[in-house]
Each structure stands twice: as structure tokens, then as C-alpha cells.
Amino acid sequence: MSRTGAPPKPWTRTGPRTALTAEAGPLGLRVPVRVATTVLALLLAGFAAFTASVSLGTYAIPPGDVLGALFGYGDGAADLVVHKLRLPRALTAVLAGLAFGMAGAVYQAVTRNPLASPDLIGISAGAGAGAVATILFGGVTAAGAGTFGAVPFGALGGALLTAAVIYAFAYRGGTITGYRFVLVGIAAAGALAALTRWMLARADIDQAARAMVWLTGSLNGRSWSHVAWVGWALLILVPLTFALARPYQLLQFDDSTALSLGMRLHRARVVLLIAATCLAAVATAVAGPVAFVALGAPQIARRVAGTAGVPLLTSGLMGAVLMLAADLAGRLVLAPTELPVGIVTGAVGAPYLLFLLARSNRAGRGG
């Protein structure tokens, strides 16, 4: 109760509309207005992109017919296209983009380096090498049919092993630096790319063709088995990552500040990196090593939300929107020819990487 006897409002503005606060007994939540607005805008943009992804294509379906198909009263053609082709693909794009965005945010926050992302420092390459080995030797088709259940575990094993090697080589004097972590990761990515090419060279032409489709990064042919697998994985990984919000935030300060606040740096980094590696491996398993989503989503989200650190939830939502938009562009820009989503994100992400490198050099962080 307030001093005037009136119960407190569940949501109130503090200051000149700078933040929203929610209180429930001893618990409280403070969210900057700009962050809340950004989250709402991303949810709306994601819904619009999701609707367009299900509606548009060679066979266009009006949004009303899409809703009819979803609720069981659409015609046969719409039901087939929506349920068998476009809805699983769009859901896979959302979930994989969310995982990529969150994984990139964790890596950039832990290393305090905007260039640290799974696709640049070898984590996606490790997941790719493990998945390619599964595809080549496990009889999996390019779209992940057949023994798809083995592909995620191959990707996860390759990613975790790569992360352990990178951390071991980057760990010096009780800590790691973002610059050293990125350099070791780039070297690991090069070695793993060579390993993948060697496996492809030794495979027969049909096996190599199947693996190359996956390596490009594509959502074509995704089915409900992909959605189920990545959905169950994220039901575990996303809450676990959000449960680590306090160490995630503290690790974005310098080591001395984090230590003074009671943070066990080594353990916190290891746990967060394991969570981020699993997120990247899950996304890579269902979509392939899609480039630049994990790199760009956290930095774009940080600039749009206006936060000092890398926002975790906003980065994940931004990753989902980017994946949906890139996949939709790949389907429509050169229709009826379809571009894999990895080609679209690579074409857009390469200039963005050059921008980040130039910005880091101007700020004196380019090494």
C-alpha cells in the first residue's frame, strides 16, 4: 500500500518516461521504455515476416486462407502448402534465428568483443564438421531426412569440442581476452574448414552434393521433425541461458569489477560458453552454418534498443526476424529461382563485418 492508502499500480513510469517498473511483493522488474518498445516492434515485425513467409511464394495464399488452413477449414491445396511446406520452414527459421541471436549475444558479452560470434570463431565450423561427417557417413539426405536424429548430435559434439579447444588455447593467466579468443577462433575455423573440405574430397559425388546443400545454409525442405527437435532443445537451453542473466550482465564489465561483485569468472564463462555453444549447434543442425546472423543480430539489437551492453532477449528476437527476412528474400527476389538463406545473409553480412572492423579500428580495439 502507498502512503495515501491506494494500492500501487502494477506498471508505473519512473522519471521522464525512461523506464517501466513492475512490482509483485518483494520482486520487482525495471525495463527501459526504449527496450520495451524495441521488443514490441520486433515481435510485430516477426509476426509480419512470419505471415508473409507462409503466404507468399510461387503459389500465393491470401492471409485469410492461411488462417483457414491453420484452423482446419481451408481448401486442400492451401492445407498442403501451409502444413507440409511453409509452416515448418517458417517455424524452423524463427527458432534457429532465435538460437543464433542468443548465442551471438552470449559470445560477444563474455568476450566483450563485437566480432566474437559462432560463425567467425569456429563454433559453427565445428558444428558443421560434425554434421557433415554424420551426413557423409550416416546416410542423411541434404534436407535432413533419413537419420536426421544423428545430425544434431554430430553438430553438438563438433561444436563443444571446438569450443573447448578454443577456450584452452585462449585461456592465459587465469583469464581470457576477447582479442585472443577471436584470433584463436579464426585459426580454428580455418582448420575446421580444411577438415570439412578434406571429407568432401574423399566422399563420392552424391554424398558431397548432399553435404554441400547443407553447408550453404538452407531452410528448404524443413519438416516438422526439424521443428520438434529444435523446439524441444530450446525449451531447455533458453530458460537455462536466461537463468544465467546475472553473470551474463556482470561479465560485460571488466574482470576487476566482476570480481569485486562476487563473480567467479572462470566458472561463469565456462557455463555461459557451453550454453551459447549448444544454442549455436542446435541452430546449425537444423539450418546449416548460416553466416552473420549471430554476428549482426546482437549489435543491431544493441543499437536499436540503446543499451550499453548486449541485450539477450532483444538479440534473440532480432535473430529470428533476420532469419525470416533473409529466407523470404531468398525465395522471392529471384523467383522462381530460390537462393539459400546462407547466401542472402552472407551477401548482406559481409559489408556489415567490414563496418564492424572499421569501427573497431577507429575505437582502438581492432588489434
What is the pLDDT averaged over residues 242-249? 87
pLDDT surpasses 70 at 360 = no
Q: What is the pLDDT of residue 92?
A: 94
Establish if 62 belongs to a structural domain: no
Q: What is the pLDDT of residue 29?
A: 56
Q: What is the pLDDT of residue 180?
A: 82
Establish if 345 belongs to a structural domain: yes
Of residues 1 and 151, more confidently modeled:
151
Establish if 42 belongs to a structural domain: no
Q: Residue 171 and residue 166: Cα distance in Å, rounded? A: 8
- Torsion on CA atoms 238, 244, 246, 248, rounded to nearest 10: -80
- The model's confidence at residue 174, banded by pLDDT at 50, 70 and 90, is low
Q: What is the pLDDT of residue 308?
A: 81
DSSP-assigned states of every residue in 123-140: HHHHHHHHHHHHHHHHT-
Establish if 265 belongs to a structural domain: yes
pLDDT digits (tens, 9 = 90+) for 277-336: 999 989 988 888 888 899 889 989 988 888 888 889 999 999 999 999 999 998 888 777
pLDDT surpasses 60 at 101 = yes
Residue 311: name the closest of 237, 240, 249, 241 by CA: 249
Provide the residue range defining the domain that includes 225. 84-361
> Residue 247 contacts by C-beta under 8 Å, 6 or more apart in sequence?
263, 268, 271, 272
The most confident of 132-141, 191-200, 301-310, by mean pLDDT:
191-200
Q: Quick check: 357 and 366 in contact, CB under 8 A? A: yes
- Comparing 118-127, 227-236, 328-337, 358-367, the range with the smallest average pLDDT is 358-367
Q: What is the CATH number of the domain that holds 302?
A: 1.10.3470.10
Establish if 70 belongs to a structural domain: no
- The model's confidence at residue 20, banded by pLDDT at 50, 70 and 90, is low
CA atoms 354, 356, 362, 365: torsion sign? negative
Report how far apart, in Å, the C-alpha atoms of 197 and of each of 163, 185, 200 are.
20, 18, 5
- Comparing 4-8, 65-69, 264-268, the range with the smallest average pLDDT is 4-8
What is the pLDDT averaged over residues 102-111? 91
Establish if 196 belongs to a structural domain: yes
- Comparing 31-35, 329-333, 357-361, the range with the smallest average pLDDT is 357-361
Cis status of the peptide bond prior to 311, with omega within 30 of 0? no
pLDDT surpasses 80 at 72 = no
Establish if 11 belongs to a structural domain: no
Total structural domains within the chain: 1
- Comparing 30-34, 85-89, 272-276, the range with the smallest average pLDDT is 30-34
Q: What is the pLDDT of residue 59?
A: 79
Establish if 308 belongs to a structural domain: yes
Q: Which helix (H) or strand (E) holds 294?
A: helix 293-305
1's grid cell: 500500500
